[in-house]
A and B are shown apart, each in its own frame.
Chain A
Amino acid sequence: MSTSVLRVILIIVLLSIFELGLAIAIFLMPEPTISMTELVHSQLSETEMTHSMTALLLNYRSMDMLLGLTILFIALLSVLHRNDTTVSSQKPDDSDFVLPSLHWILMLIVLTTGILFWTERYLVAGALLAGCGVLLRFNHLLQPQPTAGLSLRLGLSSGLLVFISIALATMVSGYHWLEYPEDWVNESILLISVCLTISIGLTLTILSFGAPGISWHKEK
């Protein structure tokens, strides 16, 4: 038998043992002792938010959200500094997904984003904005560019910058890191979440395009 077939058989055997071990661990899982649900829902009025998931993400677990944003930013850096000279010469393909009734869909997207903002579902609104960006790309309304302009860079970094500056401000004025002051909870969370939505939308759009910059449609 050739070495590659032997290698595959060895991998299959080892992975089966690994999977068996994991399955046994699943059966040996201990019963849960702590229930966070009542705690989360009882403290919800203190966070002045109506949606428990956003309160979890931006208040109870804001440090995890900050770290996740940092990871997104690091992945963005790899795309922003692409030294690719073929970006500006990417001609739009005629077989791209062009919609005849785009303005209706854009209106629906704007309406849905507003509703998501109103009901405090900020991450979903950011993802919807990124999908809208990809849709505009396919309809030749957004073009990829070889470099990112200033306003784009400001939009991309605003989420992380605002988050970190609010965290530093709370630490400097005597509270703990990311412990919002009592009368400023609503305003600070709103500020963070607006910049978060813009930042996540723009970041995911740039990650989907693969090109460092965006511009509106120019006549070539």
Chain B
Amino acid sequence: MTKVVFYSLVAVGLFTIGFYTLLVEAHLLRKIMALNIMFTSLFLLLIAIAARYPQAIDPLPHAFVLIGILIAVSATALALTLARRIYQETGQTDLSEKQETGIS
């Protein structure tokens, strides 16, 4: 198995683990961390694809990963702000279906 295939499979595994945690865990912070793991797995996939040329490494996916890191930071910041607001309004840190609060 070549390097590229190995790292791509690791990226796929990480993505699935992050996806599973996003679906199953109830705590908001864990969902946000799972989202971050999914982002990181995509960056790993991009970098693995960039190494497909043995002579010269493709620099284009590296630039995409840099911009992607910027986007991942923005998404995490927005998600954390929303989670903090949810905690402020309802006092709970998970999205449970039991309580319906009257947030207008």
**Contact residues of B: prevailing secondary structure:** helix
Bound CA–CA A11/B12 (angstroms): 17
Asked whether A204 is an interface residue with its Cβ less than 8 Å from the other chain, the reply is: yes
Q: Which residues of B sit under 8 angstroms from A65, Cβ to Cβ?
A: 67
Asked whether B70 lies within 8 Å of A84 as measured between CB atoms, the reply is: no
What 1/0 mask marks residues of chain B from 15 to 28 whose CB sits below 8 Å from any chain A CB? 11001100110000
Q: Which residues of B sit under 8 angstroms from A191, Cβ to Cβ?
A: none
Asked whether B60 lies within 8 Å of A36 as measured between CB atoms, the reply is: yes
Bound CA–CA A210/B80 (angstroms): 9
B88 CB contact (under 8 Å) in A37, A84, A200, A204: A84
Asked whether B81 is an interface residue with its Cβ less than 8 Å from the other chain, the reply is: yes
What 1/0 mask marks residues of chain A from 61 to 76 whose CB sits below 8 Å from any chain B CB? 1001100110110111
Bound CA–CA A12/B17 (angstroms): 10
Asked whether B15 lies within 8 Å of A27 as measured between CB atoms, the reply is: no
Bound CA–CA A109/B57 (angstroms): 31
Given contacts A19-B12, A78-B81, A82-B81, contact A53 B62 (CB under 8 A): yes
Asked whether A18 is an interface residue with its Cβ less than 8 Å from the other chain, the reply is: yes
Asked whether A79 is an interface residue with its Cβ less than 8 Å from the other chain, the reply is: yes
What 1/0 mask marks residues of chain A from 37 to 60 whose CB sits below 8 Å from any chain B CB? 110100000000000110011001
For chain A, residues 189 to 211, give those with C-beta under 8 angstroms from any C-beta of chain B.
200, 204, 207, 210
Asked whether B59 lies within 8 Å of A18 as measured between CB atoms, the reply is: no
Asked whether B62 lies within 8 Å of A75 as measured between CB atoms, the reply is: no
Asked whether A32 lies within 8 Å of B53 as measured between CB atoms, the reply is: yes
Asked whether A11 lies within 8 Å of B73 as measured between CB atoms, the reply is: no
Instruction: Across the interface, name the chain B residue whose C-beta is closest to A124.
Output: B66
Asked whether B5 is an interface residue with its Cβ less than 8 Å from the other chain, the reply is: yes
Q: Which A residues form the contact surface with B (CB < 8 A)?
A: 8, 11-12, 15-16, 18-19, 22-23, 26-27, 29, 32, 35-38, 40, 52-53, 56-57, 60-61, 64-65, 68-69, 71-72, 74-76, 78-79, 82, 84, 123, 200, 204, 207, 210
Known: A40-B59, A207-B73. 4 other contacts (CB 8 A): A8-B24, A61-B67, A71-B74, A72-B71
